[in-house]
Amino acid sequence: MAMNCNAKDEVDGGPPCAPGGAAKTRRPDNTAFKQQRLPAWQPILTAGTVLPTFFIVGLIFIPIGIGIFVTSNNIREIEIDYTGTEPSSPCNKCLSLNVTPCFCTINFTLETAFEGNVFMYYGLSNFYQNHRRYVKSRDDSQLNGDSSALLNPSKECEPYRRNEDLPIAPCGAIANSMFNDTLELFLVSNESDPTPTPIVLKKKGIAWWTDKHVKFRNPPGGGTLEERFKGTTKPVNWLKPVYALDLDEDNNGFINEDFIVWMRTAALPTFRKLYRLIERTNDLHPTLPAGQYYLNITYNYPVHSFDGRKRMILSTISWMGGKNPFLGIAYITVGSISFLLGVVLLVINHKYRNSSNTADTMAF
């Protein structure tokens, strides 16, 4: 930091500077700030001063932890792996690629009834949705319905930008790798009745409200969705074009919620994504009563090649979301450790205090 002006004043600072400086003394102001005497709290970290902190942390964390743990334990959750790598699995047949489409059915039993709204997830493992190049491979403008971006997607989408000279809508690797298994759930009411009751799976309401209404928009213009997507082609891996994702006009095209959910790239290689909602219909019956269920799978999505796993998860939720035993355990553990350390400090402080007191009395 060159402050040459000062130095020059010393040499060349004649009357213009000197009288100004000489008129008043150069005595510095005696203010608390300038003299660094601001009132201050000066904690000293010793066993005695710190141990309350540890106890307080312990006393706060353990109850919170217990609360979270209980909440988390009250959540019902069932997870069904349907990758089909085990030969016994009904979906094992779908591993070979030549069988398309492949249907398989998995039976499972709910030991306890699922109360309240039940969330149906699909889970993928060893799937790196957070890979740098993968995450980048999308065009938000296109997804937002920008007509120019629709026909001329961003370079980030390469190599899934164009297919046979037609722009891909939606472009990019994320869209291209969209999860496309179909999962259906049936309740086997009783052993005698062979026709299972299908469970109503709600497709809407699974994506963020802002995603569905702000971030993702179909291309503007009148006419059908197909016309609005004219001049584009479907992603390479897709079976259907984007405007045929659903029949419901409000859940089709870019604003298809399955698509939106997929486009929100997962943070970690093992993740789940919300697939369907099972809303409770009436207060008298549980949403999913205990019993036997079928899971009908239209097996399209190949994960076996890269050692991935596919799962279907049914879970109730609480105020803090899905089942998560870790946080409760973490709180309890940290709280206990903190409490323990507090005790250690207390002991130390006790001994130390005695000695320092005697020292004090001797000194003063």
Least distance between another protein and beta carbon 347 (Å):
11
Least distance between another protein and beta carbon 285 (Å):
27
Q: Which helix (H) or strand (E) holds 333?
A: helix 325-363
Q: Which helix (H) or strand (E) holds 257?
A: helix 257-263
Instruction: Please state, in angstroms and rounded to a whole number, the distance separating the CA atoms of residues 251 and 205.
Output: 10
Least distance between another protein and beta carbon 77 (Å):
11
Q: Tell me whether residue 117 or residue 189 sits nearer to another protein (CB atom).
A: 117
Q: Does 164 bind another protein (CB under 8 A)?
A: no
Q: Does 140 bind another protein (CB under 8 A)?
A: yes
Q: Does 321 bind another protein (CB under 8 A)?
A: yes
Instruction: Please state, in angstroms and rounded to a whole number, the distance separating the CA atoms of residues 107 and 297.
Output: 11
Least distance between another protein and beta carbon 147 (Å):
13
Least distance between another protein and beta carbon 196 (Å):
28
Residues 233, 238, 241, 245, CA torsion sign: negative
Instruction: Please state, in angstroms and rounded to a whole number, the distance separating the CA atoms of residues 269 and 256.
Output: 24
Q: Does 98 bind another protein (CB under 8 A)?
A: no
Least distance between another protein and beta carbon 289 (Å):
25
Give the one residue of 110, 113, 330, 343 binding another protein; rule: CB under 8 A: 330
297, β-bridge pairs: 104, 183
3-state secondary structure 206-247: CCCHHHHHHHCCCCCCCCCHHHHCCCCECCCCCCCCHHHCCC
Q: Does 219 bind another protein (CB under 8 A)?
A: no
Q: Tell me whether residue 233 or residue 286 sits nearer to another protein (CB atom).
A: 233
Helix (H, G, I), strand (E, B) or coil at 199: coil
Taking CB under 8 A as the rule, which mask of x and - marks residues 284-303 in contact with another protein?
A: ------------------xx
Q: Does 262 bind another protein (CB under 8 A)?
A: no
Q: Does 239 bind another protein (CB under 8 A)?
A: no
Q: Does 276 bind another protein (CB under 8 A)?
A: no
Backbone φ and ψ for 90, nearest 5 degrees, come out as -60, -25
Give the one residue of 40, 98, 192, 282 binding another protein; rule: CB under 8 A: 40
In Å, what is the CA distance from 2 to each residue of 5, 7, 8?
A: 8, 10, 12
168, β-bridge pairs: 233
Helix (H, G, I), strand (E, B) or coil at 104: strand
Instruction: Please state, in angstroms and rounded to a whole number, the distance separating the CA atoms of residues 44 and 182.
Output: 62
Strand 102-110 and strand 162-163: pairing? unpaired
User: Which part of the chain contacts another protein (CB under 8 A), choosing from 193-201, 208-216, 225-233, 288-296?
Assistant: 208-216
Burial of residue 22, with CB atoms counted within 10 A of its CB: 0-12 exposed, 13-18 middle, 19 or more buried: exposed
Instruction: Please state, in angstroms and rounded to a whole number, the distance separating the CA atoms of residues 172 and 156.
Output: 7
Least distance between another protein and beta carbon 161 (Å):
8
Q: Does 103 bind another protein (CB under 8 A)?
A: no
Residue 160's Cβ-side half-sphere holds a number of Cα atoms within 13 Å equal to 22
Q: Tell me whether residue 34 or residue 202 sits nearer to another protein (CB atom).
A: 34
Q: Tell me whether residue 93 or residue 217 sits nearer to another protein (CB atom).
A: 217
User: Which part of the chain contacts another protein (CB under 8 A), choosing from 107-115, 196-204, 284-292, 351-359?
Assistant: 351-359
Q: Does 192 bind another protein (CB under 8 A)?
A: no
Least distance between another protein and beta carbon 214 (Å):
5
Q: Which of residues 46-75 bind another protein (CB under 8 A)?
A: 46-51, 53-54, 57, 61, 64, 68
Task: Give me the count of residues in the chain.
Answer: 364
Tokens of 220: 């503007």
User: Which part of the chain contacts another protein (CB under 8 A), choosing from 86-94, 190-198, 218-226, 348-356?
Assistant: 348-356
Least distance between another protein and beta carbon 220 (Å):
14
User: Which part of the chain contacts another protein (CB under 8 A), choosing from 2-10, 88-96, 108-116, 218-226?
Assistant: 2-10
Cβ atoms within 10 Å, residue 137: 23
Least distance between another protein and beta carbon 144 (Å):
5
